[in-house]
Structure 1
């Protein structure tokens, strides 16, 4: 039992070392030790082991560590195993190329959304990928679509405090309920400068075989490129159409109706 507990603690320590790199910076041993709450010698030993396994790599000139290629291999396998990613990837990539905007696909993990796909068009370039990153549910178009899968009570329990990111962020649950009622009515969500100034998106939910919302697709980019302040019916129709095609690929056959009574 003691040996098992020691092994679990070692795994937890190794995981905390890897988590130190989540903000994207290369780190010194002392930085990793501080973030992970470990002694410097322990952090150094763990980094050496992780380096031998290629989970981290060290720059020989600066001695700074960064995440290694073995994690890319694992990440690639994990993302390719996800049914939504497999079904949505090509459609999202083609849409980004056609519109020249950003196209994203995400699912809900706990109280945040988790990006499975992220493609950038010429009008929405990025120097980084969103895949694997997280964002808040209440301040994004994708997040609003994912919140439709929950009742108002469940939403309040999941995210009791709605953090403000910009002056336009919805920070009141009653106001969010009203916004989500509109999303459910028209079949798509918009977000205009609620997460970041100068950015906007339009999103639609993706359903599985049972008709449950399991993901959402968004078209995003600079506010000037999308022009969502006054609404964009054509863009909304496009995101609904592509999200529906992904849903069909996941086995969704449309709303189920009770059989008519025979007389």
Structure 2
């Protein structure tokens, strides 16, 4: 049991080292990794050497800095290719980005954050980085609001005790969030305008599985000038809802169950 416990701790430490690389800088010194992962310098060095041998990290021979290795891409690709939402949404989102010229994004909820499963950028909304695998707050994004629409007000308060402000437009009270989500649920889509970052907006809709549960969200996003919600909101909303419904149907969703009529004596 002691040996098994020691092995488990080694695995946990190695995973902690890998997570350090997802938090910010792409290239790190051994001392940076040791500090961020709360390890001794010798332990961090040993784990990095093992991970390098396995292909999960690469070391620059000149600078000595470490970065994630290309074998991580193989793992990530396998995960995505076997995820049912990713399989159903990929082509639809790609078509959406090409048709609208905006970013098309699909995300799921991971604990108290949204997790991007895929992202395609249109010609009017280019990015210099990949969103897939990144996380964002739920309450300050259109995608997050779509995901939160599947929870009760009490579940939302338990999940998000405090609502962190990111701009002066971020919703920071649960009462305001409740009101916004009630409106979003009634019309079938949610919006976000400069609540997470200045100069950007999005329109999102929920994706449901065969049971009717909200399991993901789809959004189109881009700079304010490109998304132009003042003139395009209804058209974009219709397109996003239709695309989200197509994905939901592919996942087995057949629509809300009708309420049975009461028998009349």
Q: TM-score higher than 0.5 here?
A: yes
| Deviates further, 216-225 or 27-36 | 27-36
CA RMSD of aligned residues (A): 1.2
- 1:214 aligned counterpart, secondary structure: strand
* Alpha-carbon distance between aligned partners in 2 of 1:175 and 1:253, rounded to the nearest angstrom: 32
Whole-angstrom CA distance in 2 between matches of 1:259 and 1:157: 33
Counterpart contact for 1:164–1:170, Cα < 8 Å: yes
What is residue 196 of structure 1 aligned with on the other side?
Answer: 197
SS of match in other structure, 2:124: coil
What's the secondary structure of 2:203's corresponding residue? strand
Q: Deviations over 1:98-148 (max 9, x none)?
A: 111100000111000010010001100001111011100000001001101
Alignment of 1:59-138 (within 5 A): 59-138=60-139
CA distance in structure 2 between the partners assigned to 1:239 and 1:231 by the alignment: 12
Unaligned runs of 5+ in 2: none
- Mapped to 1, the partners of 2:207 and 2:17 lie a distance apart of 35
Aligned to 1:14: 14
CA distance, structure 1, for counterparts of residue 99 and residue 231 of structure 2: 23
Tell me, in whole angstroms, the C-alpha distance in 2 between the residues paired with 1:213 and 1:122: 30
Query: Are the counterparts in 2 of residues 190 and 228 from structure 1 also a CA contact under 8 Å?
Result: no
Matches within 5 A, 1:49-64: 49-64=50-65
CA distance in 1, matches of 2:209, 2:10: 38
Structure 1 residues not aligned, in runs of 5+: none
Cα distance between partner residues in 2 of 1:184 and 1:27: 44
TM-score between both structures, scaled by the size of structure 1: 0.97
Give CA deviations for 1:220-253 in whole Å, capped at 9, x if unaligned: 0001111125661101100001001111111111
**Counterparts in 2 of 1:16 and 1:86: CA distance versus 1, 3 Å:** same
Matched residue, 1:218: 219
Say which SS state the counterpart of residue 232 (structure 1) adopts: helix
Question: 1:20-35 alignment to 2 at 5 Å?
Answer: 20-22=20-22, 23-35=24-36
Q: How many residues align?
A: 263
Query: Quick check: 1:36 aligned with 2:37?
Result: yes
Return the alpha-carbon distance in structure 1 between the equivalents of residues 43 and 262 of structure 2: 71
Q: CA deviation at 1:33?
A: 1.0
SS at match of 2:229: coil
Give TM-score, length-normalised by structure 2: 0.96
Measured in 2, the distance between the counterparts of 1:161 and 1:133 equals: 21
Whether the aligned pair in 2 keeps the contact of 1:192 and 1:229 (CA below 8 Å) is no
Q: Which residue pairs with 2:174 in the alignment? A: 173
Runs of 4+ in 1 over 3 A off after TM superposition: 258-263
> What CA distance in whole angstroms lies between the structure 1 residues aligned with 2:193 and 2:230?
7
Distance 1:262 1:36 in 2: 64
Q: In structure 2, what is the Cα distance between the partners aligned to 1:5 and 1:106?
A: 35
Distance 2:259 2:224 in 1: 43
